[in-house]
Structure 1
């Protein structure tokens, strides 16, 4: 089986609003108020919890690695308590997933979000059953851009890891696919979309409606 594997944050869904609120919960607890701003800081949010904490502390001139270590669990707890308040799937994402499955491709998710939180989010927004495999940041001892999580996702789908494709939104995804020796497709509608062309993926995606044709052109019919 040929497979199509998706990143989650910034690729399938805009999760930035809930991520930023979790980070600001931490900054309020520190006494700084809401340091990160929805919209403006969406790109930072999609780089993960530790990056948000670092960016916020740098902004208020109080960066300490120890403070990031201390507040990261607090951020994860706050995020898990309100994980799907502002999160929305990108237009056409699930339609594209269902069309790929109809065409015979295996479809899964490989994310650097902790597996439990990814499962929770996908379940709460009602799309978990659309994906036949999920590998998170802590599923294996390594995370993207190490190729092992991508390879494991393809394996769990019953696919050939050399006949897969990764849809993502960052240099992490580009480097993961490159390390695995497979094509990457980077979406241009996320917060960092204008930067994707410089990463020279095998394809750029402006609209999910075009994805099935892009997949067929890169890895062939299933």
Structure 2
């Protein structure tokens, strides 16, 4: 079976608001108030919790990797407590997922968000059952851009890892697909959308309505 695997943050959903709020909880505990701005730091948020802490501390002129490690569990706890207050699925995302599933593709998620948090978020959004597999940052000993999480997501979705396409929004996703020897489609509607063309994916996606046709074009139809 052919499969289509999606990244989560910045690809299926804009999670930046809740991620930034969790990071700012940490900065408030440090006594410095909100450091990250939801209006300008969406791209930082979608690079992960430790990146947010690092950028905020650098902005304060007090970066310390030990502080990042110490506050990362605090960030995860704050995020879990308020994981879906501001998060929204991108328009057309779930319709595209449904169309691909109906056409016989295995559909799954491969994210660098911890698996438990990814499962919680998808469940809260009411869409967990739409995905046959979910591989997070801690599901395996390695994470993206190592190709194995992508391959495992394809296998768990009932697919052949060699007949898989990855939909993502970052150089990490591009490099993961490249390492796996499969095509990638990068979305242009996320915070870093303007930078996606320079990564030279097999295709760019401006709207989810176009995804099913791109999938057929790049990996063929399931017959």
The question of a shared fold, defined as TM-score above 0.5 by the shorter chain, is answered with yes
1:198: which partner in 2?
A: 198
Q: What is the alpha-carbon distance in structure 1 between the residues aligned to residue 156 and residue 66 of structure 2? A: 37
2:41: which partner in 1?
A: 41
2:32: which partner in 1?
A: 32
Name the SS for the 2:162 alignment partner. Answer: coil
* Cα shift at 1:23: 0.1
1:185: which partner in 2?
A: 185
2:62: which partner in 1?
A: 62
Q: What is the alpha-carbon distance in structure 2 between the residues aligned to residue 39 and residue 221 of structure 1? A: 40
* Cα shift at 1:70: 0.4
Within-5 A mapping of 1:125-164 = 125-164=125-164
Q: Does residue 4 in structure 1 map to residue 4 in structure 2?
A: yes
* Cα shift at 1:158: 1.5
After superposition, what is the alpha-carbon deviation per residue over 1:46-93, rounded to whole angstroms, capped at 9, x for unaligned?
000000000000001111111001000000000000000000000000
Structure 1 unmatched ranges of 5 or more: none
Count of residue pairs the alignment pairs up: 222
Which aligned runs of 4 or more in structure 1 are off by greater than 2 angstroms? Answer: none
1:77: which partner in 2?
A: 77
- CA RMSD in angstroms comes to 0.4
Name the SS for the 1:211 alignment partner. Answer: helix
* Cα shift at 1:157: 1.2
Q: Does residue 53 in structure 1 map to residue 53 in structure 2?
A: yes
* Cα shift at 1:39: 2.4
- TM-score where L is the length of structure 2: 0.99
* Cα shift at 1:150: 0.3
Q: What is the alpha-carbon distance in structure 1 between the residues aligned to residue 197 and residue 58 of structure 2? A: 29
Structure 2 unmatched ranges of 5 or more: none
Name the SS for the 2:36 alignment partner. Answer: coil
